[in-house]
Structure 1
Amino acid sequence: MAKKKYFDFHTPVFVPSALIIILFVSITLYVGEPIEKLFDEWQMALYDNVGWFFVIVMNTMVIMALVIALGKLGKIRLGGPTATPEFSNFSWYSMLFSAGMGIGLVYFGVAEPIQHTIAPPKPVGSQVKAAEQAFQFTFLHYGVHPWGVYGMVALSLAFFTFNRKLPLSVRSLFAPILKRKIYGPIGDVVDILAVIACIFGLATTLGFGAQQLSSGMHFLFGTEDTVRAQVIIITLVTLAATTSVILGLDKGVRVLSEANIRISVIFLFGMLILGPTVYLLDSFIENVGLYFQNLLEISSYTEVYSETAWQNNWTIFYWAWWIAWSPFVGIFIARVSKGRTVREFLVSVVLLPTAFSFFWFSVFGSSAIYLELNGLAPIGEAVDENISTALFDMLGHYPLSKLMSFVGVLLIIGFFVTSSDSGSLVIDSITSGGKLDAPVGQRIFWALAEGALAATLLIGGGLVTLQTAVMLASLPFAMLLLIMGYSLVVGLRREQRKNMRMKIRRLQRRGMATWEYNYREIIEENEDDDD
């Protein structure tokens, strides 16, 4: 069948997904300002009633990732025993990190630690104790839990796509359970839920990026910092992302992702040098130690004995955001990960970005807390007034503030563009039935649609609207994640048995195996032989 030139939609997924998105946007714009209050009520009701479920799902994904990586299944190679990686390690790390949470690090790098310091999640006796607790919860939100979810979704997609030759689509995750039914209405519903979760998670990220970029431009050039300015920024960045999408994965997304990582490293070490260097290094070591020391406690925290809404506004929102983001990040990481072993994949996807995130927050967050604790600048008040200006308020109290702010703006733009263009590739893949090379016109459509959605939701109610949309979209997908985990284990075990049979046949052909071999000895040989 000839390849379609401009559009190649899988209609049962594309049409319902588009209609749901259009309906949500239309109602938001039609109702206007009252919708923000309604969304706020919905958001709190959802958080209060299902927050415990998000906590269970996130912890389950981390435990499963750990068990799979350290167990016998970790030796399975994505794409088969002879598959080789398509991208270098640096390109691979750059793409998975840029797609994962680049904007989140820049937006919350200063804001979250300083906010938790001035308003501690749990009551403490001093501001120093508040700062210690601030990093524990910040690391919880950006550590092994989000990357554990990303890693499990990405691993599942990569395995079923490259080893089972199924479409690169969320429906493929359930093949061991649904079998041929993944190609029917049930599979379509799964993909629709993934598209909805993905596009609203992406819209939230673009909304945060637009707000911070607008604040940065205001700080550098005195431009207006309004919703109108944010919409203009989204429009311009969407056009840049569209250009990247046209260039494709290798020439567009890969190049931008590598540039983002280089700028990130320059920005990070620039702050380390310009800030209180020894204090920042000390804080990194202590923050990591306190995080692991209290990981079990904070990861199971449900605020049951507290009457505050802190967890709803922070941890539960983050869990919903990461879950909504996981189909996008999962498909994108899976697409570029052929040839990696399961163990290499999980260790790289979960631990390396976590370590980088911890260092990032320790440098930027501790630079702000240093000013606050020593009475050098009221950073807490400034951040409390406008969270999107946090980074630039902090930089303003250190040398080369204008230069560092300019680099920060470049970084936000870079992460903004890579989030949008890689998101377009992912949604395009799902709505085209899992194709890896859908027509360019289709990718352009989704790049423009994502920008339009983010801008519309900002106009219709700001971050409250975006956060509510994420929560509504992520809840059904959170349920699917638990089923996905079981399905992946079933698939990996079948793959292990298949590889074992292939190993036995190779040994027999070489005259190295007989039927007198003990079954356990064959298994041990298979585990120790990388051939």
Structure 2
Amino acid sequence: MKKVTSVFWISLFISIVFVIWGAWAPHNLDLVSSSIQSFLTDKFGWLYILSVAIFLIYSIYLIFSPYGKMKLGKQDDRPEYSRLTWFAMLFSAGMGIGIIFWGSAEPLVHFASPPQAEPETQEAAIKALRYSVFHWGLQTWGIYTIIALSIAYFKFRRGVTGVISATFQPLLGDKVNGSIGKLIDIIAVFATIFGVATSLGLGASQIGGGLAFVTDIENTMTTKFIIIIIVTVLFMISAWSGISRGIKYLSNLNIILAVVLLLLTIVIGPTRYILDTFLSTTFSYIKHLPKDSFAINPANSEYKQWIKDWTIFYWAWFIAWSPFVGTFIARISKGRTIREFISGVLFIPTLFCILWFVVFGGGSLYQELEGINTGLTELANEEALFGMLSSLPFGTVTTILAVLLIGTFFITSADSATFVLGMQTTNGSLNPPNTVKLSWGIIQAATASVLLASGGLGALQTASIISAFPFIFILLIMIVSLNKALREDLQKYNH
């Protein structure tokens, strides 16, 4: 492994120590990590919320700024992938398992326990969809936009290495090649590992829930471990084949399966209700976006706790995901203008997310409100989607399709992450060695397993919040560095 850097060995060593800790003393791991998480959410919850708002505002500013016409690359560079394939790949990496897991579950949770409405009422249903869309909409993609744009710009326009520390070159100069740069890259590696491990844990839990719905297999911890092992083998095969083969083809398959499941559910579900709700939810989301974005410290204690449990968790999870998603999106975006890039990354996935939550979350709420299936709110989160589908015509068919979709999203998220971790620990190599990708694939699977064993889904959420905290500062400083580079290059471009 001649290409690996010290970042690889240091990160690998610490990761192995963490996995051993989780395997040897899972309850101690859960206790320590939960204490750290409580401290961060109590003292710095405002920082997660304010930072994510800044990321979105700056992204929108760049669309309308003079920088929008500049390319991610040389002026004659053309995009490597078609828009459809590009969208499929960025969406598969950026959302994946999470949106499948929470598509039905989150609106149902907010419907049963809303922070600012009477439970299980029409008002609660309306707010449940708005809150869900808020958590998966523009803010999420604003986080990804900042880091992906920075990496792509510096990599393809300035010709630096594709590691995250290289984006600080305008501020740090040659120091990015020293200990400061290595520290930045190590933090990025750990944020990626825990962010992806959260998704792998959610995916294993939901596949187990789906199998329990259509077979006699119980969704036990052993079942989840077996699922993780099987999918790890599959995503390593995909990662071994490279980005232009396995990842590309599976990403396209993801979109096909997702669209088929979406359209089928619209047709066999409450079609008129879904279409009406799509419009009303979209307008409600836009109307309340400024207020929801800055709900930092409300007087209502119940609402304040809800923000900690949901909004801060999500922002932390997506920040933890951002080194992986950002690096991957950057890798596939050469040749696009900044305006095209941001518009595509921000708005298209957001619209798709709104539609997804309206179809599956709205469909679930409709069944509850109309008395068709009043037990949905009592199901475990990983079973909510399958409970909703079981009440529709062709329920078994759609359930099997959903399990397949979760499996392919599982694979594409994980193999994309192994590629990115390989890239970040081989000084930005666009084709990291397979041995490096294999090492990170095993670490990701082991991390997801020990987190599930130590505290289930709660431990997964805790890991995301902790790993995201130091990376917030990296993203904020990254904006300053990118803005300086854009200002310098625009002057050269105009001359």
TM-score for both structures, normalised by structure 2: 0.97
Q: How far did residue 406 of structure 1 move?
A: 0.4
In structure 2, list runs of 5 or more residues that go unmatched: none
Q: Which moved more, 1:87-96 or 1:451-460?
A: 451-460
Contact 2:112–2:120 (8 Å) recurs in 1: no
Structure 1 residue runs of 5 or longer lacking an equivalent are: 1-5, 502-531
Q: Which residue of 2 aligns with 1:438?
A: 432
- 1:44 Cα deviation from its structure 2 partner: 2.3
Question: 2:214 corresponds to which residue?
Answer: 220
SS in 2 for 1:438: coil
Query: In structure 2, what is the Cα distance between the partners aligned to 1:349 and 1:7?
Result: 35
Q: 1:220 to 1:126 in 2, by over 3 A?
A: closer
Aligned-residue offset at 1:126: 7.1
* CA gap 1:353/1:379 in 2 versus in 1, 3 angstroms: farther
Structure 2 Cα separation of the partners of residues 199 and 424 of structure 1: 9
Q: Which residue of 2 aligns with 1:358?
A: 354
Aligned to 1:349: 345
Tell me, in whole angstroms, the C-alpha distance in 2 between the residues paired with 1:192 and 1:447.
Answer: 17
Cα separation, 2, equivalents of 1:194 and 1:456:
20
SS of equivalent to 2:72: coil
- Asked if the contact 1:104–1:205 (Cα under 8 Å) also holds between the matched residues in 2, the reply is yes
Rounded to whole Å, the distance in 1 between the matches of 2:299 and 2:445 is: 41
Q: Does 1:462 align with 2:456?
A: yes
User: In structure 1, which of residues 249, 252, 256 is the aligned counterpart of residue 246 of structure 2?
Assistant: 252
- Equivalent residue runs for 1:40-119 within 5 Å: 40-119=34-113
Name the structure 1 match of 2:296.
302
2:377 equivalent to 1:381: yes
1:420 aligns with 2:414: yes
Shift of 1:415: 0.2
Are 2:159 and 1:165 equivalent residues in the alignment?
A: yes
Counterpart Cα distance in 2 of 1:431 and 1:320: 23
CA distance in 2, matches of 1:243, 1:306: 50
Matched, 1:36 2:56: no
Q: Distance in 1 between matches of 2:119 and 2:258?
A: 36
Question: Distance between the aligned counterparts of 2:362 and 2:4, measured in 1?
Answer: 48
SS in 2 for 1:434: coil
State the 1:319 CA deviation. Answer: 0.4
8 Å CA contact 1:328–1:426 kept in 2: the answer is yes
5 Å-filtered alignment, 1:508-527, equals: none
Aligned counterparts of 2:119 and 2:454: Cα–Cα separation in 1:
41
Deviation at residue 446 of structure 1 after TM alignment: 1.5
Q: Distance in 2 between matches of 1:185 and 1:33?
A: 34
Structure 1 residues 509-530: Cα deviation after superposition (integer angstroms, max 9, x where no partner): xxxxxxxxxxxxxxxxxxxxxx
Distance 1:69 1:245, change over 3 A: same
Letter in 2 for 1:341: T
Q: State the match for 2:5 in structure 1.
A: 10
Structure 2 Cα separation of the partners of residues 111 and 482 of structure 1: 32
- Please show how residues 269-348 of structure 1 align to structure 2 within 5 Å: 269-308=263-302, 309-348=305-344
- In the superposition, the TM-score normalised over structure 1's length comes to 0.91
**Off by >4 Å, runs of 4+ in structure 1:** none
Question: Is the Cα–Cα contact under 8 Å of residues 150 and 330 in structure 1 kept in the other structure?
Answer: yes
Q: Percent identity?
A: 38
Q: 1:304 aligns to what SS in structure 2?
A: coil
Larger radius of gyration: 1
Report deviation, 1:124: 4.5
Q: 3-state SS of the aligned residue for 1:339? A: coil
Report matched runs for 1:491-502 at 5 Å.
491-501=485-495
Alignment of 1:109-188 (within 5 A): 109-124=103-118, 127-188=121-182
Asked whether the 8 Å contact 1:207–1:463 carries over to 2, the reply is: yes
In the aligned structure 2, how far is the partner of 1:102 from the partner of 1:435? 25
Partner of 2:386: 392
SS in 1 for 2:301: coil
